[in-house]
Amino acid sequence: MRTSVPAPIVAVMGRRRSDRWVPGSPFSLEEDARGKEVRELSEPLPVHAWFQLPDRLLRRSDAQAYRLTRDAVWVEAGRGETKLAAWVWRSSVKHRRQVGAAPT
């Protein structure tokens, strides 16, 4: 006998579409945690960011940073249905290239 999973649990865990796994939405910091003074970056900054997803603990992704506060960064990774976007702690984001370094 097959049992069905309640809809809210399926939405949190992710879903399959056209034989391709689509991850659930990452957890994002609330405004009280991230701070209210948001600064827009003049251009997206390439970063490595850690996302926390409902179906697995953490995922490190190549991402772009778009906005930041004193404690948090808005990052986006991927595109289309697999796009991840969330406010994450600033300490979970690292530059992909050395900022201010002389080109080699």
Confidence of residue 69 (pLDDT cuts 50, 70, 90): very high
Whole-model pTM above 0.85? no
In a domain, 102, yes or no: no
- Averaged pLDDT for residues 33-51: 93
Please state whether beta strands 15-17 and 56-68 pair in parallel, antiparallel, or not at all (unpaired).
unpaired
- Averaged pLDDT for residues 85-95: 93
In a domain, 1, yes or no: no
- Averaged pLDDT for residues 49-64: 82
Does residue 9 register a pLDDT over 50?
no
In a domain, 7, yes or no: no
Q: Give the per-residue pLDDT at 41.
A: 95
Domain that holds residue 49: 22-95
- Name which residue leads in pLDDT, 5 or 99: 99
- Residue 96's identity, in one-letter code, is R
What is the domain count for the chain? 1
